[in-house]
A = this chain, B = another copy of it.
Amino acid sequence: MDAEIIAVGSELLTPDHTDSNSLFLTRRLNENGIEVRLKTIVGDDRERLAAVFRAALKRSELIILTGGLGPTEDDINRDVVAEVLRRPLREIAEIRQRLESLFQRLGRKMSENNLRQAMVPEGAAWLENKNGTAPGIWIEHKGRTIVLLPGPPRELEAMFDAACLPRLTRLAAGNRIRARVLKVVGLPESEVDQRIAPIYKTYANPTTTILAISGAIEVHLRAHAPSAEAADARLGELAEKIEAILGDHVFATHGETLEEVVGMYLVMNQKTVAVAESSTGGLLAERLTRTPGSSKYFLGGAVCYSNTLKVRLASVPENLLEKHGAVSKPVARAMAEGIRRNTGADIGVGITGIAGPGGGTAEKPVGLVFISMADERGTEVREFRFPGDRARVRLWATQAALELIRRRIRS
């Protein structure tokens, strides 16, 4: 069963808002074996909405419209759907009574326009709204199912779970969709694709999508099957083949973040870590402590932006700073070793670099970052040149540092 979502509201076409109800709806629909094939966002504009709705009727079995059910003139969904389907609006006495008694309880006078909410297209069912005044509408029409839901997420979500899910489960029996995400570091997107395309192309189910997101390449797999277990088995089979090809470039097999994976390894190996950061300004510590329970392996760190603090908090020898400059291999090494010694951590990490946009020179350009890692087996220092702006240089530097830790403790 294929679904299509139409979000209605002029505010959803401004630079600051977007439709987010569709994320909730997609999750619920997928859990019940229904794929979302198309989403449209349209303003409070009768003509455009009618055109989009007509096109949806031609191609999708389930059409969900969100928003546009309130009492004002802007709220056009009820009218447009009734008109396109040629099902005139009829007042439902029960809804009217509920509205009247609600306003009475609140001690407020009900304005006439609220009665628009009691109107429902002929032959349609209405859905109770436990968190607001506008009821939803459910229409079965020439093999299509059309659902109108209110825009506020609290109203939409409660209504969907209480009134729509039981109906949809009946309509979409016997199909489940499950997804899995593998994450890869150390290979560019095109190379990941080239290596694994010969395998994933032999599978129509699961489908495979490759994405570059926040410093990692993600391989998204989605499978259909009559049961969740069968869908998971399909995912497992393909995931295993992809892992066999990409080897230890795969750091996550179920969507985990790199910091979660590193945390897991640290717990498994009963190792602790401490960090000394300059150019990343605390981002590595922040990522390591995003995960609940990170106090088991993260002792702490020093954000030593100034040279003085590199000396005081990470015990970097002053003569190294004078001789090589703050952004240098020897200083990165001293930061990692110093923070390890000062905190008693098993692993010490040091990062120093030039995040930009200012501060670069011909010799030490923006994007130059030294990352060091010290443990009982010794100290490793690596030099990186990250492209992009300040935020990106900082993100990639923490990504590289986490990957250094992962490779060291995994082995």
Contacts and interface: CB of A to CB of B under 8 A. Distances in A.
Interface of A: 9-20, 22-24, 26-27, 30, 35-45, 48, 51-52, 55, 59, 70-74, 108, 111, 113-114, 131, 152, 154, 179, 188-191, 193-194, 197, 201, 207, 209-212, 218, 220, 222, 274-275, 277, 280-286, 288-290, 292-295, 298-306, 308-309, 312-313, 342-344, 356-358, 387-392
B281 A303 contact: no
Contacts of A42: 37-38
Given A11-B209, A70-B189, A299-B309, 6 more contacts: A9-B209, A11-B211, A15-B26, A18-B22, A18-B23, A73-B197
A390 B18 contact: no
In the A-B complex, the 6 residue pairs with the closest CB atoms: A281-B289, A282-B285, A282-B282, A15-B27, A300-B309, A282-B286
Contact of A10 (B207, B275, B308): B207
A72 B304 contact: no
- Which of A18, A154, A190, A304 has most chain B Cβ within 10 Å? A190
B51 A358 contact: no
A305 B299 CA distance: 5
Contacts of A13: 26, 35-39
Contacts of A71: 190, 193
A309 to B, nearest CB: 4
Given A18-B20, A27-B15, A289 B308 contact: no
A26 B19 CA distance: 14
Nearest to A117: B190
Nearest to A58: B51
A392 B284 CA distance: 18
Given A74-B210, A188-B108, A40 B43 contact: no
Nearest to A297: B305
Contacts of A20: 18
A309 B343 contact: yes
A43 B48 contact: no
Contacts of A300: 302-306, 309, 313
Contacts of A23: 15-16, 18
Contact of A303 (B35, B39, B40, B285): B285
- Which of A22, A38, A357 has most chain B Cβ within 10 Å? A38
B342 A312 contact: yes
Contacts of A189: 70
Nearest to A3: B13
Contacts of A285: 281-282, 285-286, 303
A386 B45 CA distance: 34
Given A38-B42, A40-B39, A284 B281 contact: no
A18 to B, nearest CB: 6
Nearest to A19: B18
A349 to B, nearest CB: 12
A40 B41 CA distance: 6
Contacts of A131: 387-388
A72 B197 contact: yes
A390 B292 contact: yes
A133 to B, nearest CB: 8
Contacts of A281: 285-286, 288-290, 294, 298
A306 B41 CA distance: 47
Contacts of A356: 292
